[in-house]
Amino acid sequence: MRYRFQHLDRIYEVVFEHQGSAYLANIDGQPYTFEVLDAQPGVLSLQFEGRPIMVYWAKDSAAQWLARDGCTYQLQKPTSRRQASMVEDRYGGAILAPMPAQVLGLRVVEGDPVEKGQTLMLLEAMKMEIPILAPLAGRVVRLLVKPGKFVEKDQLLIEIGE
């Protein structure tokens, strides 16, 4: 399975391969091995490069989230240029909540210029911090949530315009 995730300003490509009872995670060409010791709803116990670790997870139809040591990573399947264009045409600069969550904090205010990939806000769901990133460059036209408020899946959070 092939995924992408963003950490800070860098986008990484990850390929997972099943190898017997273990897995190989190739992250930007660097191989890592891990074995699933126990899988429960929302939490995985892994043997990662010989060390036991716990990883919290959540998923919906579009993405998966992994959290460890206070860092949350959103794994997305890469889209073709055509699919990405169709999504942008359909939703434009509308940014929707990926899952039910609580707004932890905002990193922008209405009128702020934003760059593609910039963190706009942080949500929290299932003990995980979920960064909401700008899908395109532009300006914050409307900010529809406040810190501490709960949001539903697909609720409109922010609109980005030109």
Tens of pLDDT, residue by residue over 123-145, are: 998 778 888 988 889 999 999 99
Confirm if 122 and 112 have CB atoms less than 8 A apart.
no
- pLDDT per residue over 59-82, tens digit each? 876 678 888 887 888 887 765 444
CA–CA separation, 153 and 97 (whole Å) = 5
Give the number of other CB atoms < 10 A from CB of residue 105.
12
At 79 the pLDDT is: 53
DSSP code of residue 137: S
- For 2-76, the fitting CATH number among 2.40.30.10, 3.30.930.10, 3.30.700.30, 1.10.287.4070 is 3.30.700.30
Give the number of other CB atoms < 10 A from CB of residue 125.
21
- According to DSSP H, which parts of 37-162 are helical? 81-91
Most confident of 14-23, 101-110, 118-127: 101-110
pTM assigned to the model? 0.52
At 8 the pLDDT is: 65
Give the number of other CB atoms < 10 A from CB of residue 124.
15
Q: Give, in degrees to the nearest 5, the angle at Cα 29 between 25 and 32.
A: 30
Who has greater pLDDT, 48 or 5? 48
Domain boundaries, the chain: 2-76, 93-161
Question: Does domain 93-161 fall into CATH 2.40.50.100?
Answer: yes
